[in-house]
A = this chain, B = another copy of it.
């Protein structure tokens, strides 16, 4: 039996208590300063309020000030915060981790420096930790199509654990894999994480197809949806994910299967990010749509700003061709520059419909 200490009590981290518990392992869930009510709820009733479920036996909850205690005697650690909390989590972990520990991270996104160079979030997390300690740790991450609530209630889910060390990934796989939670391992750390970050961007665009119909109102009729439009954007996303592999040094085949196309599919099916895209598709500016969703976390929109701005900078200095990533660039115009949706179809799909 293993014990995993988790920093951040969001729904994805908490949902992963299910496969862990199914394998007889235990999770110690440490809330951030934002998770105080969640931890209180789990402590008193066992129920994670956002997940709407009682967490499995063997899962304990701890407030942030109890973190050191929760991390005692544990050498397996999960960073369960979202993309906005990664730097903070890294700083916290710097004082909680000890040599020989293994870290696995959930947050999806990228950070950019002033020149537009992009870094995957597990590296950002690791970089918060002093080098002499960092070199005695391993960092891995979980990616692939995975709605948290489904994992928590044993729906079949197929994911990818990624990192540089195949043996460490196999160790993590052994802890989590069950008859419902199917795990593959992939050492293309950059490729898998870039897919995970960019799929959130493209899923924002998946909202446009419904928003356009909303704007048409009765003129849309009751029979004709807008799936041709959505399918075209999805197809362009598949092409651009492979362009990202070239740009970032991932393998060109990594977006196939689970990390890119599979995850983009599930993320496009719904959620806050798609909802905001839908509002924008209906004719609101991004700022107007954002104002209609106060307090809501929009990781996809944030990723569009970071990656879109980085692409502009990289294009200016000649590191990327201006004809690459036309959909992501348009998403940036919409989200980052508050422009109206106006899909530049002629710039999509290369010359042959498949990106060449």
What is A's interface to B at a CB cutoff of 8 Å? Answer: 52, 144-147, 149-151, 153, 155-160, 182, 184-188, 192, 221, 223-232, 234-236, 238-239, 242, 251, 253-263, 265-266, 269-270, 343, 345-346, 348-356
Contact = CB atoms under 8 A, between A and B. Distances in A.
Contacts of A251: 354
The 8 closest A-B pairs by CB, nearest first: A235-B262, A145-B231, A184-B353, A231-B266, A160-B353, A158-B232, A157-B228, A186-B352
Given A184-B353, A231-B266, A265-B235, A223 B149 contact: yes
A145 B354 contact: no
Given A145-B228, A150-B228, A253-B354, 9 more contacts: A151-B228, A156-B226, A158-B232, A160-B352, A182-B345, A231-B263, A232-B258, A235-B261, A235-B265
Contacts of A224: 147, 149-150, 153, 155
A261 B262 CA distance: 11
Given A158-B348, A349-B158, A354 B254 contact: yes
A282 to B, nearest CB: 15
Contacts of A235: 145, 158, 256-258, 261-263, 265
5 contacts: A149-B223, A150-B226, A159-B353, A160-B353, A257-B350
B144 A253 contact: no
Nearest to A154: B224
A305 B351 CA distance: 34
B150 A225 contact: yes
A355 B263 contact: no
A178 to B, nearest CB: 11
A270 B224 CA distance: 12
Nearest to A221: B153
Nearest to A192: B353
Q: Which of A150, A227, A350 has the most CB of B within 10 A?
A: A227
Contacts of A261: 234-235, 238, 261
Contacts of A229: 150, 155-157
A333 B226 CA distance: 33
A269 B227 contact: yes
Contact of A353 (B259, B269, B351): B259
A230 B155 CA distance: 11
Contact of A345 (B156, B160, B266, B356): B156
Contacts of A263: 231, 235
Contacts of A158: 228, 232, 235, 345, 348-349, 353
Given A158-B349, A265-B234, A354 B228 contact: no
A339 B244 CA distance: 41
A248 to B, nearest CB: 15
